[in-house]
Chains A and B, each alone.
Chain A
Amino acid sequence: MIFDWLTPLVHWKELVSGALVTLGITLITFILAFILGIILGLARYAKRERIINRVTYFIATAYIEVIRNTPALIQIYLIYFGLPEFGIRLKPLSAGILALVINNSAYIAEIVRAGLRSIDKGQHEAAQAIGLSNFRILGLVIFPQALRNIFPTLGNQLIMIVFGTSLLSIVDVRELTDVALILNAETFRTLEIFVAITMMYYIMTLFLARLLSFLDKKMFPVRS
């Protein structure tokens, strides 16, 4: 068996750069998708009698169902290859991040909605009783408690985003999977390189999981 395990070590610069690109894309995607997801989740949660709420609920539901039932790869292709038909030519990185944000916002919206619904009505009524406006009730009372409940699930979604970035290798973004393909084409040491890349993904997810667990304990020491 002739395996050259030095190959991935020799190319450590490319591997580290790929990992950093992956983490960077993950972070940007999560922040943007979280913001968009909160908006969508609120639209799905606040389904009151006013017409405008029913309209936003419908739009949010349609958006979420469509995004969740179509593959992320097709969403990337639609944005990167399909939009130029209308004159919108995005750079690969921008198109990739936009597609990932759109895709993950749908999942985060459902997580946020579940979190908001898990807070019992009493909190809302008590906050109303002490005279807080609806906006303040949501922001100061309901949402912080919901965040505490959904934090682990959000962390899991972050790990899913890390795996989602690998799809961007198709549109030529230099993240970790793309580095694997490039190194494979350069050195032909397929197995050694892919074993190294697998280990790097594993280390990344382990590191992120530990970090999230630490943040969870720091930010939410008591969970009812």
Chain B
Amino acid sequence: MDWSVIYDFRILLIKGFFITVELSVLAIVLGSLLGFIVSLAQTGPFKWLRVVGTVYIQIFRGSPLLMQLFMFYFGLPYLGQILKYTAPDVASILLSLSPFTTAVLVFTLYSGAYIAEIFRSGYQSIPKGQFEAASAIGLNYFRMIQKVILPQMMKLVYPPLVGFYIGLIKDTSLASIIGYQELVKQGQSIINTTSKPFEVYLTISLLYFILCYPLSRLVARAERRQIHD
């Protein structure tokens, strides 16, 4: 085993690490936003909104992430080709998408579906009495959500949500397959030069572990506290 290659190429690995962090943060933030909005639609009073939301969730929870990445990576330029003469401006955008944009788009849609389910189940775990009491003291819908429902939801939703975030950080490794230069792809460039796949992939695992393990401990502690409540 030759560990000196790790030291020689440490700059590339560190660069890739920060790019992975950037992609993870983007996916987490945008996905949570989308998931929250969709969960509002899912628990709201409008039937057609619920239908649209359910279709979206079933599609993105009912298929593998890698397949979704491929679908968008190959499919969007395909749509661009078809629309080339009927809608040239849209087509030109679709045909010039970078792996970064495609990755962020797919991760947002994928995580939005799962996070919407997490929020929805948290929302539905809140006892009906809370809603009734809130309307009894005269709070309108927004105030009720803001002052009564959301604080309780946040506590309920925290462990599965952070648990999903950990999975999302690991899933960003799939962006390397559609060519985005994050940690795994940088590692593969190093392997192409040095032919030391074991050392490089083991180091990459270590870097992901450093990123994910603290969050795992947070979840474990929060779950233990919930048992005592």
- Which residues of A come within 8 Å of B, CB atoms? 1-2, 65-66, 68-75, 77-78, 81-86, 162-167, 169-170, 176-177, 180-181, 184, 188, 190-191, 194, 197-198, 201-202, 205-206
Contact = CB atoms under 8 A, between A and B. Distances in A.
B79 A191 contact: yes
Contacts of B193: none
Interface string B156-179: 000000000010001101101100
Interface stretch (B36-44, B56-64, B97-105): B56-64
Contact of A68 (B74, B198, B216): B216
Given A1-B82, A82-B202, A190-B74, A69 B213 contact: yes
A73 B65 CA distance: 12
A204 to B, nearest CB: 9
B67 A77 contact: no
**Of B63, B70, B82, B216, most A-chain CB atoms within 10 Å:** B63
B205 A163 contact: no
Contact of B64 (A66, A177, A181): A177
Contacts of A205: 62
**Of A70, A72, A86, A188, most B-chain CB atoms within 10 Å:** A70
A163 B75 contact: no
A99 B70 CA distance: 22
16 contacts: A1-B82, A2-B82, A66-B205, A70-B208, A71-B184, A73-B174, A73-B176, A77-B197, A81-B191, A85-B1, A85-B198, A163-B65, A166-B66, A170-B66, A170-B177, A184-B70
Nearest to A76: B201
Interface of B: 1, 58-59, 62-67, 70-71, 74-75, 78-79, 82, 166, 170-171, 173-174, 176-177, 184, 191, 196-198, 201-202, 204-205, 208-209, 212-213, 216
A81 B79 CA distance: 35
Given A1-B82, A71-B171, A82-B202, A180 B208 contact: no
Interchain residue pairs A-B with the least CB separation, the first 8: A82-B198, A166-B64, A190-B78, A69-B212, A71-B170, A163-B64, A194-B71, A71-B173
Contacts of B63: 163, 197-198, 201-202
A84 B191 CA distance: 13
Contacts of B191: 81
A70 B82 CA distance: 40
Nearest to B61: A205
A169 B173 CA distance: 15
Contacts of B197: 77-78, 81-82, 84-85
Given A74-B204, A194-B75, A198-B71, A65 B64 contact: no
Contact of A74 (B62, B66, B205, B213): B205
A82 B204 CA distance: 12
Given A69-B213, A82-B201, A194 B74 contact: yes
